[in-house]
Structure 1
Amino acid sequence: MKFSVLGPAGTFADAAAKAYLTTQPDSDIVFDYHPTFDQVYQAVSGDNIGLLPLENQLDGYVSATLQRLQSADVTEIGEITIPVNFGLVANVADLKQIKQIYVQFKTEGQCQKLLSSLPQAQIVTTSSNMVSLEKFQSGEPGSAAIIPQSQMAVLKQPLMLDKVADQDDNSTRFIIFKSRPANLEALSSQALSDTHFKAPLFVTPSFNDQPGTLYEILGYFAKQQLNLVTLMSLPVKTQLGVYSFYLEVSGTRDQQEVLFTTLRQMASKYRVHPLGYYAV
């Protein structure tokens, strides 16, 4: 089975994938590395699985992942959260000599204190932390990069700073998914392997915006004592000013029936796009 992740090896996605596998029964896994979100998503088919970052503690949700989930026919089968931190490497002797700094697009939001202290440096955005390292290693004098802290031990540069994220207790949550539609009936028949669940989904009003729409949607869950741990709105992109709501519902195994009864009731009035139902 292939496990598609953002690569190359050594990224936080790679570490998250390996951490997830330690929670699963032994299986024959081949890691399949790709440089972009789209390539990871497109690579997953059949019984193969993929992993993408969903949420960072400091910088919030990863819009690139949410935008794919909004219209994708995928089923989330689990999640994994790992600690993350970063180091700075530079081929100069002093921070003021840095001319350009390579940083992954999501890492940039987690290291704002450092970046704001380098106004003279051009920020060059990359698709992954390991790409930042590669570009730095082949870069010109005056180059720097923000890279995973785990990579610092194998490098030797004139300037090296440890733990440059805005705070030390930083973590990122990743989702694991398969390329198949998440059907309410199929999901509701699953037997959980643990006592607690999470159920991510999108809910989209099938009519123009009107007062009380969100209040009514939230009321379905409040009435049944189902806990909402996430609520976000994303534009549907087909019409300006129309939004879809991304929700994550959590609960216990004995709430499974009421969860899916509630979602079926909602589906009679709204467009409900389930994404999965898994143990946490």
Structure 2
Amino acid sequence: MTGDERPRYAYLGPAGTFTEAALRQVVGPDEAAYLPQVDVVSAIEAVRHGEAEFAVVAIENSVEGGVTAVLDTLATGDPLVIQREMLVPVSFTLAARPGTTMADVARISAHPHAWAQCRRWLRANLPGVVHVPATSNTAPAALLAGTDEKLAFDAALIPPAALEHYALEALATDVADSSRAVTRFVVVGTPGEVPPPTGADKTTLVVHLPSNQAGALMEMLEQLSTRGVNLSRIESRPIGDALGRYSFSMDVEGHIAEERVAEAFMGLHRVCPHVRFMGSYPRVDEPHDGVRPGTLDADFHAARAWVTALREGQAT
């Protein structure tokens, strides 16, 4: 396979990011062209503009919740769908140029999500240190290693694997407030025929409320609960056209090909002004509970056959 024939994957770079680690779970660098981007929006837009077939982006973190830039970018613009999800354990290394000590560190560069996951450690070990925001988890490492000039920061919070790419020294390892922190990444591509269900799937969607009146959220959620569709994530995001108007980004357990999920989508389509399907794909963790009795595909099929018989005068 030549370089021109390899599928192109856009991801948040430069080399050594957690996103690259997630991408390597999908396809190796010898099988695909890796296209590092300066931010997650650029990675998603590379797919929309035909510069890449796929994008790998972080969508949710166990400490900070949803990655809002990704959620908002996927919720608008040309439709894209999630095709796969991956989990990457997250901890950080505090790195600096050779010769730097902890006593020298007054300003640390870090991606905002990295900083949020290390606040307590930093308060305990480097009280008063100043945060210098970075565009990615390895961007400050590239700056520190790429020049001897004085920078606006003394050290950086970076993924442990980034030390393989940049000539820096570790001042502290396993930097994190939670030893079980994990980030969920997704592969995003253009819409096509939805792959068949695996029996352990997840479906992502964006929904606008049917109205701004009391009970509107309940009306929307009832379309799911009455069909036995369990939510594994729900987050409100401002629509952006006026104060007080919000959309809801949701993950539900199940596949659009399953009767209960399809019926829930039809219910949402009837009562909500906007519903965006963002993909059904295999989940990497186990469902929280089994399918509720009465909501199996066979139950929907039997109920539909009964109604058909009623209409034809063959049942009472």
Query: Structure 2-normalised TM-score?
Result: 0.77
Instruction: Specify the code of the residue in structure 2 equivalent to 1:148.
Output: P
1:176-191 matches, within 5 Å, as: 176-180=187-191, 187=194, 190-191=195-196
> 1:102 touches 1:135 (CA, 8 Å); kept in 2?
no
Deviation at 1:152, TM superposition (A): 4.0
Taking only the aligned residue pairs, the percentage that are identical comes to 25
Q: How many residues align?
A: 268
RMSD: 2.6
1:67 to 45, 69, 72: 72
Is 1:161 aligned with 2:172?
yes
> 1:102 touches 1:136 (CA, 8 Å); kept in 2?
no
Is 1:95 aligned with 2:79?
no
Deviation at 1:153, TM superposition (A): 6.1
SS at 2:279 equivalent: coil
In structure 1, distance between residues paired with 2:170 and 2:60: 30
In structure 1, distance between residues paired with 2:247 and 2:31: 38
In structure 2, distance between residues paired with 1:152 and 1:158: 8
1:110-149 matches, within 5 Å, as: 110-117=117-124, 118-137=126-145, 138=147, 140=150, 143-149=154-160
When you count strand as a share of all residues, which structure comes out higher? 1
Segment of structure 1 superposing worse, 105-114 or 234-243: 105-114
- Paired residue for 1:35? 38
- Paired residue for 2:24? 18
> 2:255 touches 2:280 (CA, 8 Å); kept in 1?
no
> 1:2 touches 1:30 (CA, 8 Å); kept in 2?
yes
Is 1:109 aligned with 2:116?
yes
- Paired residue for 1:85? 91
In structure 2, distance between residues paired with 1:2 and 1:74: 16
1:44-59 matches, within 5 Å, as: 44-45=47-48, 48-59=53-64
> 1:98 touches 1:120 (CA, 8 Å); kept in 2?
no
Deviation at 1:239, TM superposition (A): 1.2
Deviation at 1:228, TM superposition (A): 0.6
In structure 2, distance between residues paired with 1:177 and 1:155: 29
In structure 2, distance between residues paired with 1:42 and 1:179: 11
Deviation at 1:169, TM superposition (A): 1.7
> 1:85 touches 1:165 (CA, 8 Å); kept in 2?
yes
> 1:81 touches 1:171 (CA, 8 Å); kept in 2?
yes
- Paired residue for 1:220? 223
Structure with higher Rg: it is 2
2:241 to 205, 220, 238: 238
Deviation at 1:168, TM superposition (A): 1.7
Deviation at 1:75, TM superposition (A): 1.0
SS at 2:161 equivalent: helix
SS at 1:277 equivalent: strand
Is 1:274 aligned with 2:277?
yes
Instruction: Specify the code of the residue in structure 2 equivalent to 1:238.
Output: D
In structure 1, distance between residues paired with 2:60 and 2:70: 9
1:229 to 232, 252, 257: 232
In structure 1, distance between residues paired with 2:169 and 2:35: 34
Instruction: Specify the code of the residue in structure 2 equivalent to 1:191.
Output: P
Instruction: Specify the code of the residue in structure 2 equivalent to 1:36.
Output: D
Deviation at 1:69, TM superposition (A): 1.6
Segment of structure 1 superposing worse, 93-102 or 162-171: 93-102
Deviation at 1:206, TM superposition (A): 4.0
